[in-house]
Amino acid sequence: MTAAFYRDYVVDLKARIDALHADPEAFQTYDLTMEILARKSLVSYSWKRQKGQTDSLFYRRDTATGQAAQMQQQTAYAVFAGFFGLGQFLAATGRTAGLAEEQFAEALTVGWEYPTCAVHFAYRKRGQPKAASMKMLFIGLNGDADAATYEQALALDDLLVTARPFSSPVLWEWK
């Protein structure tokens, strides 16, 4: 199995998210939800505007102890910007092979060694007739060699996207 690389996709995704942060008024509606799971710690980022109302929540939770703390938006986004700056990315298919949530997370992170980031971003810019949306689950890697090492260490087959563009009932590239 050879997984598809997603570095170019993540660079474009980050540019779109940065555009939202730079000028949220340019967007009629948006719904940005991101979650990073790294070393048994979860950082969650939720920012949306619908029908003129804006809502947001940014927090960190230790998955081992369950302790959670709210974060400032800039601090939370810096965590995601760091992830998006990694050298290569693979994407998960969303198939869990029947594993429970914690088992799936442990399998996907290969024993908590690799960070993962789920992103759901839907938006419509002002004056645009059509909305765009995507929902993907990325594994962050240092580069191509690290991606090959990750693929070999992965215990489950059929977990990674092998052909682009990818679309399934639960995860999809831009549409």
The residue extents of the domains of the chain are: 7-153
Which pLDDT belongs to residue 105? 86
> Residues 51-64, buried b or exposed e (16+ Cβ, 10 A)?
eeeeeeebebbeee
Rounded distance, CA 50 to CA 28, Å?
A: 8
- The pTM of this model reads 0.93
CA nearest to 20, candidates 40, 42, 45, 41: 45
What's the pLDDT tens digit per position in 9-51? 999 999 999 999 999 999 999 999 999 999 889 999 999 999 8
Could you tell me how far CA 122 lies from the centroid of its own chain?
13
Beta strand 27-38 with 41-50 is antiparallel
- Tell me which residue has tokens 């690290």: 146
Which pLDDT belongs to residue 13? 98
Which pLDDT belongs to residue 101? 84
Which pLDDT belongs to residue 156? 75
Q: Can you list the residues of the chain whose pLDDT is less than 70?
A: 1
The one-character DSSP state at 171 is: -
Which pLDDT belongs to residue 144? 95
Residue 104 — φ and ψ, nearest 5°?
-65, -45
Rounded distance, CA 94 to CA 12, Å?
A: 21
Which pLDDT belongs to residue 46? 98
Angle between helices 73-84 and 7-22 (to 10 degrees): 160
3-state SS class at 116 = strand
Which pLDDT belongs to residue 107? 85
Which pLDDT belongs to residue 1? 62
Residue 112 in contact with residue 8, Cβ under 8 Å? no
3-state SS class at 117 = strand
